[in-house]
């Protein structure tokens, strides 16, 4: 017979999120998996009504009360909930009425659907990213070799020219060859060796906030929602600053090009996640950074290709910033995703806090 202490340890180590509600639909217990899923501390919620921190659309509280009354369990698939912080999650959940000695309650088991969908989406994204990288490297090789020959021939021609007026033409050839070579180098992403050191993610993000605040000159409100308990991890600080800055700067430019509303916001949020799969690897602990803006959103036609080189939603954009960001985060064994609709664009960055070799 398991002791109460052993039973509690079993519940606390389940990967399934567990909630126990009383007859008034107030929280009596929440295991750590539920805390991670719902992004809230269980100790703060004891005695709090379920609807105060978790709302389903449409409202199904009558179904919960009916389960209490009849004693019949039920299961619901693909339910959409709104968390206390406004973010949305998709769940499968089972509600089981439980009778105790003097009262009754509801046991709720929750399985996130978003995670399964994310794993599938990640696999497609990583596969496309690798295909794009190979294509770009092949193109770079084919472009840079003849460019070197064109530039060298233009330099030799420049030395032989007698008419000074013709030097302008050879100078244009040389400058354009250099510009194309630099463009190809940027498409390939950072070519510097990684300088790994212990990093505090909030120092990185504060540097990004400072740069964005200076560029937007107070026209955009920058909000921080940090988890101060996130541990340091190994990474290249300067390259991570560049990666996050590329995303934040895109958000800033989208907001500044938006004529209406005055309430223009960029939110930077950090959280830790346990037992996270990134690509084909499972990590015990990972960092999640959300960079959210309330701008016009990424057009549906660009959403699936937004991380490809030379893809941009702005006429003046180079289309390389997000491709470089994905490359930098990928070298940290992480991944970047984008969810967007008008009024809400969310770039989600996952980085393992304990990276694995190879």
The total of other beta-carbon atoms located within 10 Å of residue 249's CB is 16
Confirm if 53 and 142 have CB atoms less than 8 A apart: no
Are 244 and 336 in a shared domain? yes
Do 209 and 339 belong to one domain? yes
Residue 273 and residue 278: Cα distance in Å, rounded? Answer: 11
Are 289 and 266 in contact by the 8 Å Cβ rule? The answer is: no
Q: Which of 329, 331, 311 is nearest to 320 (CA)?
A: 311
Are residues 122 and 100 part of one domain?
Answer: no
- pLDDT score of 270: 96
Find the domain containing 155 and state its range: 117-187
Which CA distances in Å does 191 have to 182, 187, 194, 197, 351? 12, 10, 9, 18, 20
The 10 Å Cβ neighbour count of residue 34 is 24
Residues 178 and 61 in one domain: no
pLDDT tens for 235-278 read: 999 889 989 999 999 999 889 887 766 788 999 999 998 877 77
358 is a domain residue: no
The structural domain count of the chain equals 3
What whole-number distance in Å separates Cα of residue 172 and Cα of residue 45? 68
pLDDT in tens, 18-27: 999 999 999 9
Considering the domain boundaries, does residue 12 fall inside one? yes
pLDDT at residue 193 is higher than 80: no
Hey, is 218 helix, strand or coil? coil
Q: Is residue 192 part of a domain?
A: no
With left for phi above 0 and alpha for psi between -120 and 50, is residue 238 left, alpha or beta? alpha
Whether residues 108 and 124 share a domain: the answer is no
Q: Give the CATH number of the domain where residue 85 resides.
A: 3.30.450.20
One domain for residues 330 and 246: yes
Q: Is residue 168 part of a domain?
A: yes
Domain closes at, from 155, 187, 219:
187
DSSP-derived 3-state class of residue 84: coil
């Amino acid at each position: 017979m398991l002791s109460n202490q052993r039973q509690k340890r079993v519940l606390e180590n389940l990967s399934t999120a567990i909630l126990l509600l009383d007859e008034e639909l107030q929280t009596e217990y929440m295991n750590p998996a539920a805390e991670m899923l719902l992004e809230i501390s269980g100790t703060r919620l004891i005695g709090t009504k379920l609807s105060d921190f978790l709302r389903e659309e449409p409202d199904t509280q009558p179904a919960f009360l009916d389960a209490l009354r009849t004693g019949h369990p039920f299961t619901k698939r693909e339910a959409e909930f709104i968390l206390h912080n406004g973010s949305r999650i998709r769940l499968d959940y089972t509600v089981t009425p439980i009778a105790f000695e003097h009262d009754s309650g509801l046991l709720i088991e929750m399985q996130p659907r978003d995670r399964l969908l994310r794993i599938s989406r990640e696999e497609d994204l990583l596969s496309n990213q690798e295909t794009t990288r190979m294509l770009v490297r092949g193109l770079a090789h084919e472009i840079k070799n003849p460019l070197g020959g064109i530039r060298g021939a233009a330099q030799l021609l420049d030395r032989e020219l007698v008419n000074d007026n013709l030097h302008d033409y050879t100078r244009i050839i040389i400058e354009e060859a250099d510009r194309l070579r630099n463009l190809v180098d940027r498409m390939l992403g950072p070519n510097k060796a990684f300088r790994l050191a212990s990093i505090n993610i909030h120092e990185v993000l504060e540097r990004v906030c400072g740069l964005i605040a200076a560029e937007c000159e107070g026209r955009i409100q920058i909000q921080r929602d940090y988890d101060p308990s996130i541990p340091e991890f190994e990474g290249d600080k300067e390259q991570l600053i560049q990666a996050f800055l590329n995303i934040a700067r895109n958000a800033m430019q989208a907001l500044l090009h938006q004529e209406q509303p005055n309430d223009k916001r960029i939110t930077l949020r950090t959280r830790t996640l346990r037992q996270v799969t990134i690509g084909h690897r499972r990590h015990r602990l990972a960092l999640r950074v959300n960079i959210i803006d309330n701008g016009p959103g990424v057009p549906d036609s660009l959403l699936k290709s937004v991380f490809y080189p030379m893809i941009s939603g702005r006429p003046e954009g180079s289309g390389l910033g997000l491709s470089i960001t994905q490359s930098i985060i990928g070298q940290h064994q992480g991944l970047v995703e984008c969810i967007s609709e008008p009024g809400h664009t969310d770039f989600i960055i996952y980085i393992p806090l304990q990276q694995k070799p190879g």
